[in-house]
Structure 1
Amino acid sequence: MTSASEPDGRRQGASAVADVLKALIREVPDFPEPGIQFKDLTPVLADRHGLAVITAAMAEIAEGADLVAGIDARGFLLGGAVAHRLGIGVLAVRKGGKLPPPVHSETYTLEYGTATLEIPADGIDLAGRRVVIIDDVLATGGTLAAARSLLAASGAEVPAAAVVLELPGLGGREKVAPLQVTSLQTV
Structure 2
Amino acid sequence: MPSDIDLKGLVRTIPDYPKPGIMFRDITTLLGHAAGFRACVEDLVRPFQDQRVESVAGVEARGFILGGAAADRLRCGFVPIRKKGKLPHKAIGQDYELEYGIDVIEVHEDALSPGEPVLLVDDLIATGGTAVAAVKLLRRLRAEVVGAAFVIDLPDLGGCARLAELGVECHTLISFEGE
Name the TM-score, length of structure 2 as normaliser.
0.91
- Counterpart secondary structure, 1:60: helix
The answer as to 2:67 corresponding to 1:55 is no
Give the match for residue 74 of structure 2: 86
> What is the rounded CA distance, in whole Å, between the counterparts of 1:44 and 1:125 in structure 2?
30
Quote how far apart the aligned CAs of 1:125 are: 3.5
- The one-letter amino acid of 1:66's match is E
Residue 150 (1) aligns with residue 110 (2): no
- Does the CA-based 8 Å contact 1:159-1:179 persist in structure 2? yes
How many Å separate the matches in 2 of 1:126 and 1:46?
Answer: 34
Residue 134 of structure 1 pairs with residue 121 of structure 2: yes
1:71 corresponds to 2:63: no
Structure 2 equivalent of residue 181 of structure 1 = 170
Amino acid at match of 1:183: T
CA distance in 1, matches of 2:20, 2:120: 31
In the alignment, residue 9 of structure 2 is paired with which amino acid? Answer: A
Q: Provide the aligned C-alpha RMSD in A.
A: 1.3
Alpha-carbon deviation of 1:39? 1.1
Cα 1:80/1:166, change in 2 over 3 Å: same
How much has 1:102 moved relative to structure 2? 1.2
**CA offset digits 1:81-119 (Å, max 9, x no partner):** 011111111101111110124111111111110111111
Partner residue of 2:21 out of 28, 32, 35: 35
Q: Does the CA-based 8 Å contact 1:61-1:162 persist in structure 2?
A: no
Taking only the aligned residue pairs, the percentage that are identical comes to 41
Task: Please give the TM-score of this superposition, normalised by the length of structure 1.
Answer: 0.87
1:132-171 CA distance string (max 9 Å, x none):
0000000010000000000011010002000000001112
Letter in 1 for 2:169: Q
Deviations 1:43-65 (A, max 9, x none): 10111111100111112133231
- Corresponding residue of 1:9: none
Q: Which runs of 5+ in 1 are unaligned?
A: 5-11
Aligned residues: 172
Pairs within 5 Å for 1:154-169: 154-169=141-156
